[in-house]
């Protein structure tokens, strides 16, 4: 449970925050002034000895909890043997590729290992273009696929593009089903999947006739944990297949138990051709991958794609350890069970405060959209930020607000969180909401 022993931020934290301002570009997200020292399970300890419960998982990374003993021992053992050997084969890399294919849907037959989520996005785009006669990629407004130029160009948010010059050509963008704020001003119950109909309009007016793939997040994370309505993905998949295109499914933040399934795609009856993985795959040590069909991956000749650090033995051992922990400790089931408790508690908060306008969640990832009032649904970024700050003062670590309007609280604790910790964090959150609303 949380334990606050100094004023926040504490004296050592203040020292290191000043050092960061002096020597680092302030280009990263504006987090609360929490300077991490160590963490275990769901508990973070800062440099001053204050302890916080974690709703961040290091931005959906540490699915198996911070510094799980088995995970740490596997990394220590590998560190004494071999760190890197370029793309010479190691047993760990081959074992991880085999394991990823084993636990994924049957139609995915190969695994290409890289290092970051952006790496995986870039690799998937290149694979699709190499295997298909076309080169254009259809993506969605609000999407985030990484910060390298190809990944940022696929993304549908201007935050990663502004001021960085022209983006990579060959990408089209169309509306995503943000049902709480429908871009067409329609109701989810009666719209008839208008955003799917609009894809044809987008293609007819933007494409030069060279489409090869559609790329989409399983749910839009940075845009505010936006989850499409039931049946939407099945219809999108059918449209993709009918047009002879590939589906690139971005599961960088949604896989390895996060949504109450091993892979988020298992919530729907779809068959992506390429699936990007990251974050929870390595659960701390950077590791990412692309899962794909043999039809696509077998067109890649030797030397056409590789990575200096991709599939290195340290990250491969870490990923294998994380998958084993997820399976043996039944963390997928725990994510579903703890998510149900969170859902009930969030609904109770929403019943008391109209400022909690929408609750979007799957397993152990939620987006809580804060508004001024239920009638106008006007985004309320200042209130959202105050809640994050109030929670920090009470011992709960929440990532800086997300969403298209900066008014969404992201809830993503490690998958090892237990019921007592869920309720403790919810008590803190409700107190933070009460204090923030009172301050308005």
Domain-located, residue 6: no
Q: How many domains does the chain have?
A: 2
Domain-located, residue 270: yes
Domain check: are 343 and 414 in the same one? yes
Contact by Cβ (8 Å): 137, 170: yes
Domain-located, residue 263: yes
Domain check: are 154 and 239 in the same one? yes
Query: Averaged over 123-144, what is the pLDDT?
Result: 98
Element holding 162 (H helix, E strand) = none
Model pTM?
A: 0.97
Reported as a pLDDT band with limits 50, 70 and 90, residue 287 is very high
Domain check: are 384 and 410 in the same one? yes
CATH classification at residue 282: 3.40.640.10
Domain check: are 32 and 82 in the same one? no
Domain check: are 86 and 166 in the same one? yes
CA pair distance 266, 105, nearest whole angstrom: 8
Q: Is the pLDDT of residue 409 over 90?
A: yes
- With a pLDDT cut of 90, the percent of the chain lying above it is 98
List pLDDT tens digits, range 177-208: 999 999 999 988 889 899 999 999 999 999 99
Domain check: are 304 and 208 in the same one? yes
Domain-located, residue 1: no
Domain check: are 136 and 247 in the same one? yes
Domain check: are 248 and 364 in the same one? no
Domain check: are 388 and 240 in the same one? no
Domain-located, residue 5: no
Domain check: are 378 and 400 in the same one? yes
Query: Averaged over 25-51, what is the pLDDT?
Result: 97
- Strands 43-46, 36-40: pairing is antiparallel
Residues sharing a CB contact under 8 Å with residue 34, sequence separation 6 or more, in sequence order: 9, 13, 44, 46, 52, 392, 397
List pLDDT tens digits, range 214-252: 999 999 999 999 999 999 999 999 999 999 999 999 999
Across the chain, what does the average pLDDT equal? 97
CA pair distance 361, 340, nearest whole angstrom: 9
Domain-located, residue 412: yes
Given 278, 308, 328, which residue is the final one in a domain? 328
Q: How far is CA 229 from CA 180, 182, 233, 271, 352, in A?
A: 11, 12, 8, 18, 26
Given 328, 363, 394, which residue is the final one in a domain? 328
Domain-located, residue 3: no
Given 262, 296, 328, which residue is the final one in a domain? 328
Domain check: are 396 and 311 in the same one? no
CA pair distance 36, 13, nearest whole angstrom: 9
Domain check: are 180 and 237 in the same one? yes
Domain-located, residue 4: no
Query: Averaged over 321-333, what is the pLDDT?
Result: 98
List pLDDT tens digits, range 291-302: 999 999 999 999
List pLDDT tens digits, range 359-403: 999 999 999 999 999 999 999 999 999 999 999 999 999 999 999
CATH classification at residue 355: 3.90.1150.10
Residue 189's pLDDT is 82
- Give the domain range for residue 341: 11-64+330-438
Residue 1's pLDDT is 84
């Amino acid at each position: 449970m949380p334990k606050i022993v100094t004023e926040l931020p504490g004296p050592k934290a203040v020292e290191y925050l000043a050092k960061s301002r002096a020597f680092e570009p302030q280009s990263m997200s504006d987090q609360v002034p929490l300077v991490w020292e160590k963490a275990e399970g769901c508990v973070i300890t800062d440099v001053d000895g204050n302890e916080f419960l974690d709703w961040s998982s290091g931005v959906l990374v540490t699915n198996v909890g911070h510094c799980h003993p088995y995970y740490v021992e596997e990394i220590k053992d590998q560190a004494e043997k071999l760190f890197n050997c370029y793309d010479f084969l190691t047993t760990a890399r081959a074992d991880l590729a085999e394991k990823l294919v084993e636990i994924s849907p049957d139609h995915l037959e190969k695994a290409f290992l890289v290092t970051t989520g952006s790496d995986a996005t870039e690799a998937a785009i290149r694979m699709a273009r190499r295997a298909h006669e076309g080169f254009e990629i259809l993506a969605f407004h609000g999407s985030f696929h990484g910060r390298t130029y190809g990944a940022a160009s696929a993304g549908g948010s201007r935050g990663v593009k502004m001021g960085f010059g022209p983006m990579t050509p060959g990408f089209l963008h169309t509306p995503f089903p943000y049902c709480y704020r429908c871009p067409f001003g329609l109701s989810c119950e009666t719209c008839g999947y208008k955003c799917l109909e609009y894809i044809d309009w987008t293609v007819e007016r933007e494409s030069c006739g060279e489409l090869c793939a559609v790329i989409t997040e399983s749910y839009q994370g940075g845009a505010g944990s936006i989850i499409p309505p039931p049946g939407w993905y099945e219809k999108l998949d059918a449209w993709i297949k009918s047009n002879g295109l590939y589906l690139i499914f971005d599961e960088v933040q949604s896989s390895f138990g996060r949504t109450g399934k091993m892979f988020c795609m298992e919530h729907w009856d779809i068959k992506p051709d390429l699936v990007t993985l990251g974050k929870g795959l390595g659960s701390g040590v950077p590791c990412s991958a692309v899962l794909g069909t043999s039809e696509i991956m077998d067109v890649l000749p030797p030397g056409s794609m590789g990575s200096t650090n991709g599939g290195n033995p340290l990250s491969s051992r870490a990923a294998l350890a994380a998958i084993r922990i997820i399976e043996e400790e039944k963390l997928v089931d725990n994510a579903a069970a703890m998510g149900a408790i969170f859902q009930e508690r969030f609904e109770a908060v929403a019943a008391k405060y109209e400022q909690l306008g929408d609750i979007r969640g799957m397993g152990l990832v939620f987006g809580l959209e804060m508004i001024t009032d239920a009638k106008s649904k006007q985004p309320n970024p200042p209130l959202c930020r105050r809640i994050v700050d109030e929670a920090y003062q009470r011992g709960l670590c929440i990532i800086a607000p997300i969403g298209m309007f900066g008014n969404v609280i992201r809830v993503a604790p490690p998958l090892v969180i237990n019921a007592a910790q869920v309720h403790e964090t919810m008590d803190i959150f409700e107190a933070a909401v009460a204090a923030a609303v009172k301050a308005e």
